[in-house]
Amino acid sequence: MFKGTTARFRCYDCGEEFESCAVHPEEYGAFSCRTARADEAYALGLEEPTVEALSTAIRATQTYVALPEERRAKVFQLLFQALVDQPALGDWLLVDVHPRCPKCGSRRSNLTNTIESKPCRLPLVRCAAWANLDQESRVRVVDDLVGTLR
Ligand SMILES: [Zn+2]
């Protein structure tokens, strides 16, 4: 579990204000992840050895290196998304997205402030399947994924 905080969000589309659990914006070393449907929040810690291994594999992949500079950050995020262990429900985890507005369902919102007095617990996401691959397999996986993302 990861210590999260309750955050207030304001919906861009309907103006609704609502609360949701999130990784604290000033917390270095963790992304927040959410499921696409159920909106449960998780934390992905950068202390995971995965991050280092993923960066190494990506830098060794010609298809990635060939991408235009401005595409690389987005592709890196999408790769991350594809390589985290998905929860048992089979619902995809999306990295760095905001919660769904309870009123209109929009995902476009602004984090307005955090409520320090209301901590919450975020389950930690792992990348066990990825971590078990050897370096050659990792490069192949990244190569295939970059190919599908272009
Ligand atoms: Zn809304």
CA of 18 to the centre of ligand 1 (A): 9
DSSP letter, residue 27: -
Domain span at residue 113? Answer: 2-149
Which region, left, alpha or beta, applies to residue 91 given φ > 0 means left and ψ of -120 to 50 means alpha? beta
Tens digits of residue pLDDT in 75-114 = 777 777 777 776 655 566 777 778 889 999 998 999 999 9
- Per-residue pLDDT at 138: 80
CA of 7 to the centre of ligand 1 (A): 16
CA of 75 to the centre of ligand 1 (A): 28
Q: Is 67 helix (H, G, I), strand (E, B) or coil?
A: coil
Q: Which of 3-12, 65-74, 83-92 has the highest mean pLDDT?
A: 3-12
- Tally of domains in the chain: 1
- Per-residue pLDDT at 47: 61
CA of 14 to the centre of ligand 1 (A): 4
What pTM was estimated for this model as a whole? 0.66
